[in-house]
Structure 1
Amino acid sequence: MAYTHLDQGLQRSRWVLAPHSGDWRAAGVPERADQLNEPAVFTREYVHAGPWPASRGEVQLLDLPTVRLSAVKQAEDSSDLIVRLHEWGGQAAQGTLRWRGHDLPVTLRAQQVLGLRLNAAGEAFPVNFLEEAHD
């Protein structure tokens, strides 16, 4: 029988049972889901001297345990960087976004998706999903 729906054909899903005490936030369910759905990619690289430190991160979230960095991309109209932060824990969050040596304070409401435009001077401006400035 043919249906006029999407997602016809063979479907695959993966499930993990993760017993825990407390609620899903305390158990770190979003982190476990990321580990399951986005496994680390193995790339063989041999030790060599290079200009970068052994560990490096362009964007870091500090004191934001329930906030996830959901997107990082170049702006459509400039060399600025667009980042999207998502508060997944259902509680307001306040902390710091560190980008290229600049510490930028960020505040998110519960469940908020916050878009920011980061420029070379280390300034952050809120933007919507179309990368338009807003408050």
Structure 2
Amino acid sequence: MRNSLTIPSQYLETIDIFTTDGTLRLVSKDDFFSQCPTGRPEVFIKTGKSWMIKPYPAPGTTVFLHYYAETLPLLTDEDENVWSQSGFSAVVYAAAALAANYFQMEDQYVLSFQSKSDSLVEAILSQDLSEKWSGKTNMGRVSGRGDY
């Protein structure tokens, strides 16, 4: 279907759906069906395993999906994901700082390794904080379920 986006398997929550012309709004089904089928895409709804967009995107229009995703599980010792890669680099630089200090290398090496380790740990922590404080997601009202 040309006005449908399949929901990715790692999907957790929508942040935004947008085109180069603007951000789409999540609306109720009634608002969605009353929307004109031609023009610039403006609204979307979630139906089953996909999102439907209206007005229908013109051929060649790129629709972007920005969403929170679940990282793939680590099943074997060789598996990697963004967290294991980031954490590994932070641990290696912390170990390098400890080794440089233990072997009484010049302070510039200790400080350099420790600084790199600290910045990697800070980047991991700030990503968590930026996701928590990134702003609200536009959600339509639940229809037929009462007021809460």
TM-score band, normalised by shorter chain: under 0.3
**Larger Rg, first or second structure (1 or 2):** 2
More helix by share: 2
Of the two structures, which has the highest relative contact order with CA contacts closer than 8 Å and spacing of 6 or more?
A: 2
TM-score by length of 2: 0.19
With structure 1 as the length reference, what TM-score do the two structures score?
Answer: 0.21
